[in-house]
Structure 1
Amino acid sequence: MAKIGITTYLMLVMCTSMIFSTAPAQCQGDFQGLIQQCSRFVQQPGPQQAPSQGCCCNIIRNVDLPCVCQHVNSQVEKIFSMQKAAFVSASCGKPLARGTKCGTYTVP
């Protein structure tokens, strides 16, 4: 399993703070955990891969992903793939509904 460096982690935290500055007030979930346990599965670039049990069980199943998707902006999409995010969500047994908009990505 690849580990992310401190610089990459800080960049992720800064970028996701843009999306999560309003999302936590409106959406349910552990947003710090989302960054820590799930970000490596949705980063650009890189292969699509199945998420860890920690990401699925501890985070994805308890986050209101459709709500979070409403707060995704272009800066977030430069770092995170919304297609991978939809894949991770589905892999965790919590698929996003067809037609859900997550940033500029629409779930097929």
Structure 2
Amino acid sequence: MAKSNTPIILLVLVVATMLVATNASGCDNDINSLKETCLQFVGVDGPKLKPDQNCCNAIQRSDIPCVCTYLTPEVEKVISADKVVYVAQQCGRPLKPGSKCGSVVVHG
């Protein structure tokens, strides 16, 4: 039974870590907004999916480079930095080539 709860516990811990880490940041609202609207598109599990309009609206309002700085190795156990880069690009907010998002270096 503990195994079935492990992913949920890990997600709660990662989200709590993100919230604590972002309390002093300028993009904590962006992270919360993306977490609420884009998790299905940036989560580690599953294939890359084209984001829906709600997710793109959140991306358009967000400081994605700031959000990328909070994609630590622990957070990347739940949130795919590669998918964050993909979703940002799909929503018309591509990151600059050579920039870093979590463990991913953006290529041109």
Percent identity between the two aligned chains: 36
Shift of 1:8: 6.4
* 3-state SS, counterpart of residue 99 of structure 1: coil
| Distance in 2, Cα, partners of 1:78 & 1:16 | 11
* 3-state SS, counterpart of residue 22 of structure 1: helix
Gap regions ≥5 residues in structure 1: 1-6
Give the 5 Å matches for 1:4-15: 11-15=10-14
Shift of 1:24: 5.0
Shift of 1:25: 3.0
The total of aligned residue pairs comes to 101
Gap regions ≥5 residues in structure 2: 1-5
Give the 5 Å matches for 1:14-93: 14-28=13-27, 29-57=29-57, 59-93=58-92
Which position in structure 2 is the counterpart of 1:3?
none
Shift of 1:95: 0.6
Which position in structure 2 is the counterpart of 1:98?
97
Q: Which entry has the higher C-alpha Rg, 1 or 2?
A: 2
Which position in structure 2 is the counterpart of 1:4?
none
| Distance in 1, Cα, partners of 2:53 & 2:23 | 23
Q: Normalising to structure 1: TM-score of the pair?
A: 0.79
Post-superposition, which runs of at least 4 consecutive aligned residues in structure 1 deviate over 6 A? 7-10
CA-based RMSD of the aligned residues comes to: 2.1
Return the letter of the residue paired with 1:16: V
Shift of 1:100: 1.4
| Distance in 1, Cα, partners of 2:30 & 2:8 | 17
Which deviates the most, 95-104 or 8-17? 8-17
Q: 1:83 to 1:69 in 2, by over 3 A?
A: same
